[in-house]
Amino acid sequence: MLKFTAHCKLVISRPNRHFSNFPIFQFSWDEVEDDCTFILTHYFNDLAFLPVAITKHEYYAQRALIVDLFGYQL
């Protein structure tokens, strides 16, 4: 099973859906290389992917959107 998928299942399985001490979706590009290849192959016609560092602002903005989407609390 791919690491990202396993991490999502773990997050969703948490009964109280509260993330105060749980870092969500922190990974390096090397850890999800297979996931990137799959997504690029199936959805982006094998376009090249150049990984870049994600800023803290972007990380927290995306985390807030994910938390809101699933009705979680930080």
Q: By C-alpha distance, which of 10, 39, 35 is closest to 23?
A: 10
Residue 30 φ/ψ, nearest 5 degrees: -60, -35
CB-facing half-sphere around the CA of 67: CA atoms within 13 A: 18
Q: How confident is the model at residue 1 (pLDDT cuts 50, 70, 90)?
A: very low
CA distance 49 to 23: 25
pLDDT of residue 57: 92
pTM of the full predicted structure? 0.51
